[in-house]
Amino acid sequence: MNVSEAIRRRRSVRAYQNKEIEPEKLERVLEAARLAPSARNMQDWKFIVVRDPETRRRLDEASNGRGWIGEAPVVIACCGTPIDYAMKCGHLTYLIDVTIAIDHMTLQAVEEGLGTCWIGAFNEPQVREILGVPDTARVVELLPIGYPAEDAPPERKPRKALNEIVCYERWE
């Protein structure tokens, strides 16, 4: 599989098989995050791999009780640290850097036959308490990961045409 194919095949998976992820596959997904670029090569991230069913259930509750988040065999809490460094343009680096690393993980997961779903709707103080995340870090996203259930992933949602999202030389 090449990168273009992985991009086209990636979906938000919300139903998972009751099947463990092989350690070598999970390690390759995490390695993809480790290799992601970051501002000033700070690598300002920490990934908490949660396999414990009770902790996954609690993370699901902290994510509006969707039910399916805790059913994934692994939930990765994607955290940024330090949280106060900004680029010259004013953007905080940890938000951008962690997001790039997550995207690398989601694409590697596709190659491994796994599904993921970005979860940004969660109660951060509750997640921080569940996972013991210090005040020097922020939880950016939760990433459930596992083998998609037979009825997942859904069809790709419509995407805007390039001419609707791309301008050349100036904002149009």
Residue-wise pLDDT for 90-149, tens only, equals: 999 999 999 999 999 999 999 999 999 999 999 999 999 999 999 999 999 999 999 999
pLDDT of 172 reads 82
pTM of the model: 0.94
pLDDT of 145 reads 98
Residue 42 above 70 pLDDT? yes
Measured distance CA(15)–CA(74) in Å, rounded: 13
Residue 156 above 80 pLDDT? no
Domain boundaries, the chain: 3-149
pLDDT of 154 reads 62
Residue 150 above 90 pLDDT? no
Average pLDDT, the chain: 94
Measured distance CA(52)–CA(62) in Å, rounded: 15
Give the 3-state DSSP-derived string for the chain, with helices as H, strands as E and coil as C. Answer: CCHHHHHHHCCECCCECCCCCCHHHHHHHHHHHHCCCCHHHCCCEEEEEECCHHHHHHHHHCCCCCCCHHHCCEEEEEEECCCCCECCCCCEHHHHHHHHHHHHHHHHHHHCCCEECCECCCCHHHHHHHHCCCCCCEEEEEEEEECECCCCCCCCCCCCCHHHHCCCCCCC
Name the CATH code of domain 3-149 (choices 3.40.109.10, 3.40.50.720, 1.10.3720.10, 3.30.565.10). Answer: 3.40.109.10
Residue 153 above 60 pLDDT? no
pLDDT of 152 reads 54
Instruction: Average the pLDDT over 75-96 and give the result.
Output: 94
